[in-house]
Amino acid sequence: MTTLLGLSLAELQAFCLEQGFQKFTAKQLCDWMYQKRIGDFDAMTNLSLKIRARLNDIAQTGFTTLADCQTSTDGTKKYLFPIEGKGHVESVYIPDGDRATLCVSCQCGCKMGCRFCVTGQQGFHGSLTAAEILNQIFSIPESQELTNIVFMGMGEPMDNYDAIRRTLDVLTADWGLAWSPHRITVSTVGITPMLQRLIEETQVDVAVSLHNPFPDQRQALMPMEKAYPIKETIALLRRYNWRGQRRISFEYTMFGGLNDSTRHAAELVRLLKGLPCRVNLIRFHASPGTPYRTSDQQTINTFRDYLNAHGITCTLRASRGEDIMAACGLLAGKKKQEQNL
Ligand code: SF4
């Protein structure tokens, strides 16, 4: 069975010609899947009955149904998708005024092992295909309302580069969703070779998970610091022009007593000086199994004000969906536990 979701127009054309269909059938498939979000060949009414029957025999679109949905009192929704042979992943839908953002996952579990992250503590169970990533975007009821996509869910996008690249092509190409790349943010712990490719091959915004400016302390939180030091990631970022429309941001989760002192803020300023960027502070969602706690509000405000006063644009990201445990990995982990019972 060939899965069509994630294929480019050229790849769909090759597929159609192989099957003896007309080349323009590929454009029709793009319209149905990528514009109309239709995953059922029988509903693709401008394809002949013969083509639909053949497609049902040899292909699948790759659209699947949700396993679960939880809705927060603030409107945030957490969706759970089954991934065949790998487990489950979560996507979080965050409506905010005229913005509607979906945070998608790219792997079942994660190899990066960040100490504060529930997903990181669940081990790695496999990377998602482009179809499995796109399905999160296309199969939620709010798919047509989305204004932004962030790759900040389960998994490290730069550890699944080819599927991410393919997904970005579908989201930004004329034959796909034709979105501006600036509506998309890809996050990474800073795997530099792949980050370099992302910067050079796409125009999407980039978010680097920083969390601590001191290498030894960052490594204690994020083991990948050893292989990909944040200093090298920042040196790479400095080679590109971030003064145009494209944005670079740094994610900084505030852990009480761990990374929230003025000494940390001063080192962060030193590290990022001269790089046009913003720092997003994130209040830590206390979660089961992690020993960390969040910083108090006064400390967060002082940290933010220090950065802003020293020329680094810094904002505190609003906490959303706390009542449904919107931090990544919690719902998928729960599902895994249920299945193991
Ligand atoms: Fe992986 Fe991101 Fe969790 Fe780190 S924070 S373990 S990169 S999912």
| Confidence class for position 264, pLDDT limits 50, 70, 90 | very high
Instruction: Specify the number of domains making up the chain.
Output: 2
Q: Are residues 82 and 8 in the same domain?
A: no
Q: Ligand 1 centre from 25 Cα, in Å?
A: 40
User: Cβ(189) to ligand 1 under 6 A?
Assistant: yes
Mutation probe of ligand 1 site: the residue of 105, 110, 121, 292 with most atoms within 8 A of C-beta: 110
pTM for the whole structure: 0.94
User: In Å, what is the CA distance from 297 to each residue of 108, 268, 282, 292, 301?
Assistant: 33, 19, 11, 16, 6
- Pick from 200, 185, 192: which is nearest to 153 by CA? 185
| Confidence class for position 78, pLDDT limits 50, 70, 90 | very high
User: Cβ(225) to ligand 1 under 6 A?
Assistant: no
Quote the Cα angle for 321-293-104, to 5°.
Answer: 35
Task: List the CATH number of the domain containing 282.
Answer: 3.20.20.70
Which of the residues 117, 277, 314, 328 is marked catalytic?
A: 328
- Mean pLDDT for 196-203 is 98
- Mean pLDDT for 269-280 is 97
Q: Are strands 107-109 and 124-127 parallel, antiparallel or unpaired?
A: antiparallel
Q: Ligand 1 centre from 294 Cα, in Å?
A: 18
Report the mean per-residue pLDDT for the chain: 93
Give pLDDT, residue 341.
41
Q: Is residue 90 annotated as a catalytic residue, yes or no? A: yes
214 CB burial (10 A radius; 0-12, 13-18, 19+): middle
Q: Are residues 34 and 142 in the same domain?
A: no
Residue 289 has pLDDT above 90, yes or no: no
Residue with tokens 């680097």: 208
Q: Write the residue with the smallest CA distance to atom 7 of ligand 1.
A: 156
| Confidence class for position 329, pLDDT limits 50, 70, 90 | low
Q: Which 3 state secondary structure label does DSSP give 197? A: helix
Residue 314 has pLDDT above 80, yes or no: yes
Q: Are residues 88 and 235 in the same domain?
A: yes
Question: Atom of ligand 1 at shortest distance to CA of 117?
Answer: 3
Query: How does pLDDT run across 200-245, given as a tens digit for each residue?
Result: 999 999 999 999 999 999 999 999 999 999 999 999 999 999 999 9
Q: Are residues 51 and 108 in the same domain?
A: no
| Confidence class for position 334, pLDDT limits 50, 70, 90 | low
Count CB neighbours of 266 within 10 A: 14
Task: List the CATH number of the domain containing 25.
Answer: 1.10.150.530
Q: Which 3 state secondary structure label does DSSP give 150? A: strand
Q: Write the residue with the smallest CA distance to atom 4 of ligand 1.
A: 114
Query: How does pLDDT run across 131-177, given as a tens digit for each residue?
Result: 999 999 999 999 999 999 999 999 999 999 999 999 999 999 999 99
Give pLDDT, residue 317.
85
Higher pLDDT, 318 or 140: 140
Query: How does pLDDT run across 15-61, given as a tens digit for each residue?
Result: 999 999 999 999 999 999 999 999 999 999 999 999 999 999 999 99
Q: Ligand 1 centre from 119 Cα, in Å?
A: 6
Give pLDDT, residue 322.
72
Q: Are residues 230 and 266 in the same domain?
A: yes
The residue range of the domain holding 20 is 2-60
Q: Are residues 138 and 47 in the same domain?
A: no
Count CB neighbours of 183 within 10 A: 18
User: Cβ(39) to ligand 1 under 6 A?
Assistant: no
Q: Are residues 110 and 36 in the same domain?
A: no
CA-CA distance, 290 to 268, in Å (whole number)?
25
Q: Are residues 10 and 106 in the same domain?
A: no
Q: Are residues 241 and 297 in the same domain?
A: yes
Beta strands in the chain (DSSP E): 2-3, 59-60, 68-71, 77-83, 87-96, 99-103, 107-109, 124-127, 148-151, 184-188, 205-209, 248-254, 278-283, 313-317
Q: Is residue 103 annotated as a catalytic residue, yes or no? A: no
Question: Atom of ligand 1 at shortest distance to CA of 328?
Answer: 8
Higher pLDDT, 105 or 323: 105
| Confidence class for position 194, pLDDT limits 50, 70, 90 | very high
Q: Are residues 159 and 54 in the same domain?
A: no
- Mean pLDDT for 102-116 is 95
User: Cβ(330) to ligand 1 under 6 A?
Assistant: no
Q: Are residues 190 and 141 in the same domain?
A: yes
- Helix pair angle (192-201, 161-172), 10° resolution: 20
Q: Are residues 198 and 277 in the same domain?
A: yes
User: Cβ(120) to ligand 1 under 6 A?
Assistant: yes
Which of the residues 16, 90, 108, 110 is marked catalytic?
A: 90
Select from 38, 60, 82 the last residue of a domain. Answer: 60
Mutation probe of ligand 1 site: the residue of 89, 111, 118, 119 with most atoms within 8 A of C-beta: 119
